[in-house]
Structure 1
Amino acid sequence: MVDFTVNEGPKWVVVGAWLIINIGLFVGIFYQYKNNDEYFYLRELVGDALCWARASAACLNFNCMLVLLPVCRNLLSYIRGACSCCHQHVRRTMDKNITYHKYIAYMICLQTVIHIGAHYFDFEHLQNAHSTGDVREILSSLPTSPNGTWVNPIRSSGSDPTRELFKTVAGVSGVIITICLILIISSSTEIIRRSYFELFWYTHHLFIVFFIGFVVHGVERIIHYQTNIKEHNPESCITQTDKWGVSPCPDPQFEGAGPLSWAWVLGPFILYSIERIIRFIRSLQRVVITKVVNHPSHVFELQMKRKGFWASPGQYVFLHCPSISRLEWHPFTLTSAPHEDHFSVHIRRVGDWTEALAKACRVDEGEFQEAWKMPRLALDGPFGTSSEDFMEYDVGVLIGAGIGVTPFASILKHIWHMHCGSSRRMTLQQVYLYWVCPDMHAFEWFQQLLQSLEAQVSERGDPHFLHHQIYLTRGWDNQQAKNIMLHDRASAADPITGLQQKTHYGRPQWDRVFEQLAEDHRGKKVGVFFCGPGGLSTTLHKLCNRHSSSQGAKFYYNKEHF
């Protein structure tokens, strides 16, 4: 029986609880404003548009409170460390932080549309109320007093609703934060982030303007509620407008509702501010580049040291080079293992920033440069990912596509170090590495590590612990294929990689791969770790769900997120 709860259960528990809170908050506030006598006369002016506007505003408060929390990387890393003894599902749930951040952003967009639509009808109704000839016109004509007796913020007939909108703090701030939201969301699409990362980076920082506008949006208090319900019962007095001003129906008195948004977002904003302070303090710590290695396939390696730095395998860091950009920080997975005397990252030269960093580090000069010639770097991290838990599974399956194999360099080094040197029995019993490469040159920078591991596995006489399969998807023609086959038969080593394990040509048949893994590891916990494009991630995720069963193997899918 297929067990979907292995991968989907924890995430949907969190998402389900979040949705229930949103729905409950929306419905509760909607009916509060629909039934509350304090807003009886305001409802007479604008109808149910008031209820829709206030219900969506409550959900906006709630989601704007949450949206910063999933991107507080230091907070999440601290929680991961504090939860190291907790159930694995708790830690895996936190690895979906970027997914939760996106869901919350989508909800903010939805509630913003509802809020804007409701207020559009509000202003239309408030404008028309001056010429209705009934109680709405009387309410609109109530005199303005220091205590805010009026209930209709549009104080004269014949006004242009758009002009009236821009006379209010709420209107101006609402337009500003809506524009910020549109720019933030539109620049967060996959194609923008991949092709124009700087545009994504800078527009995303409009969230500061967004939150300032969000906090001041309600300071003018244009939503007024009745304060003298005991003296002026609206349900009975609404039919006696000719007797208003004398007992038992004195003129209704109104007062502006105070702003609440600041109270919702203050806590998360303080936490995020602490996050940025920590980043600033770390940026002042000296990072020394000890070695620069130029690898094939437009990849270069930076080996670095920083006082007090320590990282677990599979973690990542953010790098910042002030000489290139004062604001940009870019994530890179660590490729060094904890037992090494340095930490390193492998960087592929794609985009303006990575090219500028390669030039600043004199990668193409081909000789060692003194440390003082290297650019100043700042580092934030390390931060935890799902890959940290690879030792908790019975079987580890590492799948990398192209440069996506980078996270597994550190993991493979650490696994073999622990396997050879640890005196205690490890939970991890077998490791599989699947590397899908787009061309022949993509092998070169990583093959040295694999050759070293192969030699150590052969020397130790433990061939069943580590299995690796490399797939070349393109980059050869018919003549090259014939030459490869001739050399392949004549040599014990692979003609392309030099490894004992022969290269496979074409794409893996993933369904067969998972069928075989499920058959070979019945009753085992199989941790599947992937780094690569979204399309393949979706395929692997579905296969993990399909081949997980309550009686057989259970595949726990984990994808690298930055």
Structure 2
Amino acid sequence: MTSITRLRWIFAIALLVSGPASVQAQQPPACVPATGTKAVTITGYIMDNFCLEMGFMVDNPTMRPLEHPEIHSVHCLAELPPCVSSGYAVLQTKPKNSTNPTNYAFTAASTANATFEVAYFLDADGTTLAQRYALAAMAKLGGTKTTGFTATVTGYTDGKVPFLSCVTIANTVKANGSPLTVTAVDANAVILPTMASTAPVSSPSNPILVPGVASPCTEASMASVTAVPLGTGPMTIKTSVSGGMACIQIAIDASKNAKWFGISISHGATMVTTPQSNAVVFDTTQPTKLSFVTLGGYSASAIAPEASTSAVSFVASSTINGMASFTFSRAVATVASADVAIGAGPTNINWAYGASSNWPSIHDERGSSTVVFGSSAVLAAPDTHVTTYTTAIAAIALGIMIVLGLIATHTGHWRVINQATLFGPPASKLPAPIADVIESVADIKIGEYIVIGVYGACLAVVSASVRRQFAGEPNARLLRLLSGHLALVGLMFLLLPVARGQHWEWIFGISHERIIKFHRMLGRFVVVASTIHLILTLQVTRVDNKTVFGTQSVVPLFGFVAFVSFASMGLLAVPVVRRHCYELFYYHHRVASVVGVVFVMLHSRTACVAMIFPVAIYGLTFLLRLRAYLQSFRAHVQVHHAGTVVLTLPATSQTKRWASTIHPGAFFWLNVPSVSVLEWHPFSAIVTPDGESIAFCIKSLHAGSFVDRVLQASQDKSIMADGLSILVSAPYGHTAVDVPTYDEVILIAGGIGITPMLNLVNQARLLGDASKKIHLHWAVRHPDELLCADSLMFSSPFPDNVHAKFYASGAPEGGFILGSSEPVAYVSGRPVLDEILNHSTQYPSKRVCVLACGPPPLVLDAQRHARACGFDFHKEVFLF
């Protein structure tokens, strides 16, 4: 016998002993305490046993009665029939480690986090007396909402069964947190409500179970009726119509172990419709009852008991031949407020069942079917999918971006759009986190802000479109849809910046490493939006749900796998991981991105269509990049003791073509199979002084890094003699400034940051354009570092239009160091940018651009000075 059944027996015995409810304020004189009982006086909240047994407050379904009895209303306590007829209890504060056995007479949900416990139950007379005092208290408060009714109760108990009989109540009670005086006269003046006319008006999360009444149909009468499958699910339906009544039998495959199953005769194929529909649910733990509820939303709290409980009549339930079933009858016409009439034509039936948790709970599977009552015809299931315009809107936005990019790139200089920025770089003394944010914003050109504006407009239009298509939906579902669609828009654009190729240079005039910042921004946006989407989705389904769900035809499990993939990518993309554990970041990105994209396309039909274009673009560029495995060279190796290696490709028709056509700032992705078959890293290309090939000057920044392993491999004698086998991909890269259009080009370099600048210097050597002046300022720590690219830089004199000045910050004084052709002069200290970048004195009426590459403080300082002078600025970006 369950604890709830035992409680009902106790109530039954108490009612038999106590007799009918009294209408007087005090017990009649005939109430004499039984022999062996003792008087008990206790002050506490009065709570009805119905709310205690259900584990929630009917008037406030999100609250537990043993957690917050102070908010329990007198309306629920003393006016609703289920609450009054269940009897009352007096609560007390729950002591730590309480072993009070009355805790276990109720559902686990009602006691899980309880701060109160039942001290005593009141008998029938005591319940009626407490009801009168509660209603009298509400009357004294003017009939306003009254909560937390507390009374001092005296009664008699035998100490074995926790019931109080011969109950009296003190005149001082409490409601709404304030003491009130309620006399016996006040209590006697109360007119008790007629229970048959009172019905709950709340929306409890656990619908009231409606006991069955006499029915015109029987289970036996349905035995000869043909069962009609409800779609492709495990449920069937039998129907018959006689006069104005319909007899309905719902069955489910018993192997599903359903804890509940039910149907909704609905206005549409979605679970929640406007106007609302109701549902009949059979709880297998209550085999003689049905739940008759109104579906007001997709969460359990939006399920309310149907006011007209007599609209359906329970007939029977059984499990025969592997099928669990329940039978009920209802009128063909509408009786309850949310009824849908049963016509002679097709009727929409929504079905669902739950096997993981008790009713009410999220369904394990659901669907929609169309049936004709009284017929065995199987009709096509209605399509519940709602087609949205998110993909089309995003495609239009991308088209606008491309058109604007082509105009800005190919129809003039458009300096304001292509070069000007809205914000300056951060001050030198700002904290690092703040400085990083300001620096990121300062790097965005006005043209890029226009692209961001188009993207923002796209999000706004998508939001408006979703709101329009799903107008009338509850706010929680609308927000769930919005967050999902906005995350999808972000994901559509997320793949595009990492689709490496020269197409971005042709469209926008900049290469992919300069738009990778948008990839990071979009990645953060997708993670935030999808996190919100996940949290809201968990309110209506589970992440392990493998069935198609909702009007967007989503599979929650696949979406969750995609979320985990993308969220983990975002976690490992934080700068501290990306810059210090690049291989971990890179290879996790490679694997998780494939998993995420595949499962997000499986997650929903809309996502599958939306991702076709970005996946196709990325896939096409990936196939083109596979050519790199055919571009193998045996590079000549020179090792410098400062931890640098120069790799020079042999002169071929291919390398000569690269040398003559690559842009300033070009870079290649290199792979050294003898070091790692999988690792590819970007390095700036340097045109050789003779213009016959290209080379790479790379530096090891810490032990165990890719370059450090290349350095170690390069010291092998056979490699020094025969060369190092490498694979090269692309070229990529394009400076943010169009160097040939400027009169003066100022190059600021620090350390290994000389490599892109040296490429530009060597191109100037080959072009011989004396009208363009190039000013090179290169700072290193020690003088010998000036020779890290000796064969590429000092093998021949600089042309007349190239003015170079070298700095050694660690040298006590200036001097010379012997290069491959002549001594190289240097000065002690660092470049003084106030003197180098000064518009008024050095470069009047000339077009000037500044290019910088090196340690971040040096580059940032150069950016500040260039902006102050009004010079166009470009900096090399390799912190992918």
Shared fold by TM > 0.5? yes
- The 1:329/1:95 distance shift into structure 2, 3 A limit, reads closer
Give matches, 1:118-267, under 5 Å.
118-120=536-538, 123=539, 126=540, 170-205=555-590, 206-218=592-604, 259-267=605-613
- The 1:520/1:439 distance shift into structure 2, 3 A limit, reads same
1:179 & 1:472 partners in 2: Cα distance?
Answer: 49
Displacement, 1:18?
4.2
- Greater CA deviation, 205-214 or 173-182? 173-182
* Residues 473 and 506 in structure 1, CA contact (< 8 A), matched pair in contact too: yes
Displacement, 1:505?
2.6
* Residues 642 and 788 in structure 2, CA contact (< 8 A), matched pair in contact too: yes
1:358 aligns with 2:744: no
- Alignment partner of 1:16 out of 442, 445, 449: 449
- The 1:416/1:281 distance shift into structure 2, 3 A limit, reads closer
- The 1:69/1:25 distance shift into structure 2, 3 A limit, reads closer
Structure 1: tracts of 5 or more residues without a match:
84-89, 127-153, 155-160, 219-258, 420-424, 549-553
SS in 2 for 1:340: coil
1:332 aligns with 2:683: yes
Question: AA paired with 2:808?
Answer: L
SS in 1 for 2:555: helix
1:382 aligns with 2:731: yes
1:400 & 1:23 partners in 2: Cα distance?
Answer: 37
1:557 aligns with 2:874: yes
Displacement, 1:398?
1.2
1:532 aligns with 2:854: yes
- Alignment partner of 1:510 out of 813, 824, 833: 833
- The 1:514/1:166 distance shift into structure 2, 3 A limit, reads farther
Displacement, 1:274?
1.6
Displacement, 1:331?
0.8
Give matches, 1:284-433, under 5 Å.
284-289=630-635, 291-305=636-650, 308-309=654-655, 310-311=657-658, 312=662, 313-337=664-688, 339-350=690-701, 351-361=704-714, 363=715, 365=717, 368-370=720-722, 374-375=724-725, 377-386=726-735, 389-419=738-768, 429-433=772-776
* Residues 26 and 58 in structure 1, CA contact (< 8 A), matched pair in contact too: no
Displacement, 1:370?
2.7
- The 1:397/1:105 distance shift into structure 2, 3 A limit, reads same
In structure 2, the residue matched to 1:71 is 498
How far does the alpha carbon of each residue in 1:176-212 deviate from its partner, in whole angstroms, 9 at most, with x for none? 2222223222322333233222112112212111111
How far does the alpha carbon of each residue in 1:491-533 deviate from its partner, in whole angstroms, 9 at most, with x for none? xx56999977753333333234222x55311222222112223
* Residues 543 and 556 in structure 2, CA contact (< 8 A), matched pair in contact too: no
- The 1:268/1:337 distance shift into structure 2, 3 A limit, reads farther
- The 1:57/1:389 distance shift into structure 2, 3 A limit, reads same
* Residues 781 and 809 in structure 2, CA contact (< 8 A), matched pair in contact too: yes
Displacement, 1:401?
1.4
- Alignment partner of 1:48 out of 445, 459, 475: 475
2:447 & 2:670 partners in 1: Cα distance?
Answer: 31
- The 1:538/1:398 distance shift into structure 2, 3 A limit, reads same
- The 1:338/1:449 distance shift into structure 2, 3 A limit, reads closer
In structure 2, the residue matched to 1:240 is none
Question: AA paired with 1:279?
Answer: R
In structure 1, the residue matched to 2:845 is 523
Displacement, 1:329?
0.7
Question: AA paired with 1:208?
Answer: V
1:384 & 1:263 partners in 2: Cα distance?
Answer: 32
* Residues 544 and 557 in structure 1, CA contact (< 8 A), matched pair in contact too: no
SS in 2 for 1:382: strand
SS in 2 for 1:260: helix
In structure 2, the residue matched to 1:135 is none
1:546 & 1:471 partners in 2: Cα distance?
Answer: 24
* Residues 784 and 817 in structure 2, CA contact (< 8 A), matched pair in contact too: no
In structure 1, the residue matched to 2:532 is 114
* Residues 778 and 805 in structure 2, CA contact (< 8 A), matched pair in contact too: yes
Question: AA paired with 1:537?
Answer: V
Give matches, 1:465-476, under 5 Å.
465-474=801-810, 476=811
Displacement, 1:345?
1.0
* Residues 7 and 557 in structure 1, CA contact (< 8 A), matched pair in contact too: no
Structure with the largest fraction of helix:
1
How far does the alpha carbon of each residue in 1:104-136 deviate from its partner, in whole angstroms, 9 at most, with x for none? 22322332233234324xx2xx4xxxxxxxxxx
SS in 1 for 2:668: strand
Question: AA paired with 1:273?
Answer: G
* Residues 11 and 93 in structure 1, CA contact (< 8 A), matched pair in contact too: no
- The 1:285/1:297 distance shift into structure 2, 3 A limit, reads same
Displacement, 1:340?
2.6
How far does the alpha carbon of each residue in 1:364-413 deviate from its partner, in whole angstroms, 9 at most, with x for none? 53984235xx44x2211111320784223211111111111111222211
- The 1:343/1:496 distance shift into structure 2, 3 A limit, reads closer
Displacement, 1:27?
3.8
- The 1:302/1:114 distance shift into structure 2, 3 A limit, reads same
* Residues 779 and 806 in structure 2, CA contact (< 8 A), matched pair in contact too: yes
* Residues 450 and 499 in structure 1, CA contact (< 8 A), matched pair in contact too: no
In structure 2, the residue matched to 1:238 is none
TM-score under structure 2 normalisation? 0.45
Larger Rg: 2
Displacement, 1:556?
3.0
* Residues 65 and 268 in structure 1, CA contact (< 8 A), matched pair in contact too: yes
- The 1:537/1:166 distance shift into structure 2, 3 A limit, reads farther
In structure 2, the residue matched to 1:444 is 787
2:736 & 2:464 partners in 1: Cα distance?
Answer: 46
Question: AA paired with 1:62?
Answer: V
How far does the alpha carbon of each residue in 1:410-440 deviate from its partner, in whole angstroms, 9 at most, with x for none? 2211102212xxxxx66x5211111121333
- The 1:337/1:390 distance shift into structure 2, 3 A limit, reads farther
1:99 & 1:39 partners in 2: Cα distance?
Answer: 36
- The total of aligned residue pairs comes to 431
SS in 2 for 1:471: strand
* Residues 440 and 496 in structure 1, CA contact (< 8 A), matched pair in contact too: no
1:277 aligns with 2:630: no
1:535 & 1:60 partners in 2: Cα distance?
Answer: 36
2:511 & 2:639 partners in 1: Cα distance?
Answer: 37
Larger relative CO (CA 8 A, sep 6+): 1 or 2?
1
SS in 2 for 1:325: coil
- The 1:469/1:418 distance shift into structure 2, 3 A limit, reads same
Across the aligned residues of Structure 1 and Structure 2, the Cα RMSD in angstroms comes to 3.4
